Amino acid sequence: MPRILKKYTTIPQDLYVNRAADIQLKNIIEDMQRPGYVLVARQMGKTNLLFNAKRQLESKDRMFAYVDMSNVYKKERECYQNIIDCIVEPNDDFLSDAEEKIDIIREKKLPPHKEYMRSLRVILKIIPGSLVIILDEIDALKTSDYSDKIFAQIRSNYFSRTSFPEFENLTYVLSGVIEPTELIQDRNKSPFNIGDKIYLDDFNKDEYLTFIEKSNLKVSNEIIDHIYSWVNGNPRLMFDVCSEVESYLIDNGEISTGIIDDIIHTKYLTNFDLAPIDHIRELVKDNIDVVNYLIDIQNNSNSKLDDDLHKKLYLFGVVSSKAEASCLFKNKIIEESLNIDWLNSIKSTHSKKSQTLPHALGEFDLQNYDETIIILESLLENGQNEKDMETILYFLGWSYNKIGDYVKAVERLSYNFTDSIVNSRSKCISGISSILNGDIDTGVANLRLLLESKDDFSKHNAMLNLARIESNNENSLALYEKLFESASNPDENSDGVTNNSFCCASLYFQHEIYVEKGHISFAIDALNHALNYSSNPESFLLKFSLAKISSKNVDLCKEIIDDIVTQNITFEQGINELGMGFSPSILSNFVNYSINEVNHEYFLKLYNYIQSKLFKSNKDLID
C-alpha cells in the first residue's frame, strides 16, 4: 500500500477538496468589485484555500500575486515596495519594462501611498488582463504602526476607479485570524468594512467522504464513520488522523475502532502539544471570558453566546461560524481537550486582568464603553503621568459621549490638552456633546473655533454638525458646500477614506434641504454625486433616498435588492460615525416601501436574504 497522506507543505491538487469557501472566493475574484477577507482560525486550511484559488483561476487573462505579510517591514514604504516586488519579480519576463518605470518612480521619493498607486498603475497598464493580490497573514500588521494606511490604501484602490479606470482590473484577497477592525489603530479612521468576509468551516460529511476517496484509504464504513465521529471534518485533525491510520494499515494490515481511539488519545489527549489542540488551548487559557463561558456550557447552564464571544470562539477554532444559542464544540477532540477540570484549574489560577491603559483602549476598540470608563476612571483616581493623563481624559470624554452622558463628556474634555490634534478633537467632541445636552451656544462656539483647524477630522466634523443645527437652509447649504470642497481636496496626509465619508454626508444632507425646498432635480444630482464617494452601506441609503424622489423608483428598488444580496451587506458594516449606512431601522423603512414597488419575486429575494443572513431567529426578524 503506497503512502499518500504525507506531511505536505501545501495539499496537492489530487487531494484537495472544495468547500463552500472555495466557491465564495471564486465568485469574489471573478466579480472584481470588493476585496475578500478570509477570516478563520489557524490550521483550518486558509493558505491552501488561497493557493488552490491561484492554481484554479490563474490564466493568461488573470494574474495572481501572493504576498506573505508575516514578514513585517519597519516602514510603510518598504511594505508597499515588497507587494510590488512580489508582483513584478515572478513575472519579469513580461514586466521588465514596468520594473524600469517603477525604479524611476521610486527615485522621486513620493509619499509612500502615491508611489504605490503609481507603481500599480504602471503594472495594470501592461498586463493583458486582471490582477489579484493575495495578502496572507494580514494580521501580522498589528505589530506595525502603519496598518491603518495599508487598509486605507486598499479601499482607495477601489474608490479610485472613476479617476483611474485601470483599477477596474485589480482586486485584493486578504486573510487573517483576527477581525479587520482590530487592525485599525487610529480610532478616528473609518473601519475596513468594504470587504466580503469568507468563513472557512470544517468539511461536511460529503466533503469528508470525498477526501477519503481521494486518499485511497481502504477501510470499512465503520472505521470511516468512527474517524468522523472524532474529528467532525476539522481539516488538520482529519488529515493527521487519517495519515496515522494509513501508517498503521501499512504496518499492520487492518485497524479497529479501539486502535483509532488509542491513536487519538495518545496523539492529542495526553500531552496536548500537537496542532491544532496546543494552539487552541493557549488561546483559551489567555481569555478568562472564554474560560468562564466554556465552564458554564459544560455545567449545562444557558449562558448566552453573544456575537463578540462567538467571534472569539470561532477564531480560536473552538466553534463553527454558524454556532448559535449554545456553544457546541466543533468536535470531540477539542471538547475533551478543553475538559472541565482543566478549565477550572485555569480559572483558579487566572489573575484578573490588570487595569491598564492598553486594556482600556482595547475595550474602547471593542465598543465596550462602560468597561472603558470603569478602567480609565480607576487609573485617573490612582494618578498618572502627564502624557497618560491626557490620553485617559480624552478617551474618557469620548466614551462618555458614546454612552450619551454628555455632561461627563464635557467635564472630562475641559482639560487643556498639549497635543494640538488631541486638543482640536477634544474641542470637537465637547462641542457636539454640549449641543446634544441642550447647551447650543457653548457647543456652537466650540465648533466655530475649529472651522479653520489644521486637523481635517475636527474641521470637517465641526462643519457638518454646525450645518445640521443651522436653522437657515441657505447657511446650512453654504457649510455643506464648504465641507465638500475641503473634504474633496484634502492634503496628502489626510485620510482619504474618512474624507470620502464626509463628501458623501455633505451631499446627502444637501439633498435633504433641496427636497424640503422642492428642488427635486438638485436633490437627485446631489445623491448621484454622493454615490461616487460612498461605501456599500452608504450607497444603500443613497439609492433608497433616490428611489423615493425619482421616477425610476422601481428599477432603483430592484438594484438595491440586488446590491444587498450579491454584495452580502450586513448590519456588521453598520452606520458610520456620520449617521449613514445600513441599519435595521433603515432596512425596515426600505422593506415597507419596496413591498409596494417591486414584484413578488424580487421582494421574496429580499425577504429570504434578510431571514437567512441578517437575523438569527424569526422573533428577531419580526421585532
DSSP assignments along 546-612, one per residue:
HHHHSTTHHHHHHHHHHHHHHTT--TTT-B-TTS-B--HHHHHHHHHHHTTTS-HHHHHHHHHHIII
Q: Cell numbers 482600556 label which residue?
A: 360
Q: State mean pLDDT over 69-76.
A: 92
Residues in the chain: 623
Taking only the tens place, the pLDDT of each residue in 15-67 is: 999 999 999 999 999 999 999 999 999 989 999 999 999 999 999 999 999 99
Banded pLDDT at 115 (limits 50, 70, 90): very high
pLDDT at 195: 78
Tell me, what amino acid is at 148?
Answer: D
Fold of 20-199: Rossmann fold (3.40.50)
pLDDT at 443: 95
Longest dimension (CA), the chain: 88
User: 559 pLDDT exceeds 80?
Assistant: yes
Banded pLDDT at 185 (limits 50, 70, 90): low
User: 617 pLDDT exceeds 50?
Assistant: no
For 63, the enclosing helix (H) or strand (E) is strand 62-68
Which of 402, 393, 412, 391 lies closest to 369 in space, CA to CA? 402
User: 285 pLDDT exceeds 80?
Assistant: yes
- Answer whether 235's CB lies under 8 Å from 203's CB: yes
pLDDT at 193: 60
The ranges assigned to domains in the chain are 20-199, 205-269, 276-352, 357-545, 546-622
DSSP labels, 329-394: -SSHHHHHHT-HHHHHHHHHH-PPPP--HHHHHHHHHTT-HHHHHHHHHHHHHH---HHHHHHHHH
pLDDT at 123: 97
Taking only the tens place, the pLDDT of each residue in 392-435 is: 999 999 999 999 999 999 999 999 999 999 999 999 999 999 99
pLDDT at 496: 59
SS (H, E, C) 225-243: HHHHHHHCCCHHHHHHHHH
Tell me, what amino acid is at 475?
Answer: N
Task: Report the chain's mean pLDDT, rounded to a whole number.
Answer: 89
pLDDT at 189: 56
The CATH architecture of the domain made up of 357-545 is: Alpha Horseshoe (1.25)
- Tell me the CA distances in angstroms from 88 to 57, 61, 98, one per residue in order: 19, 16, 8
Which is higher by pLDDT, 352 or 555?
555
Q: How many CB atoms lie within 10 A of CB 432?
A: 22
Banded pLDDT at 616 (limits 50, 70, 90): low
% residues pLDDT > 90 (the chain) = 65
pLDDT at 619: 46
Q: How many CB atoms lie within 10 A of CB 54?
A: 18
User: 287 pLDDT exceeds 90?
Assistant: no
Chain centroid offset of residue 570 CA: 12
Q: Cell numbers 477634544 label which residue?
A: 426
pLDDT at 404: 92
- Tell me the CA distances in angstroms from 590 to 536, 541, 603, 608, one per residue in order: 16, 9, 11, 15
Pull the grid cell for residue 165: 479606470
pLDDT at 409: 96
pLDDT at 534: 85
Taking only the tens place, the pLDDT of each residue in 445-472 is: 999 999 999 899 899 999 999 999 999 9
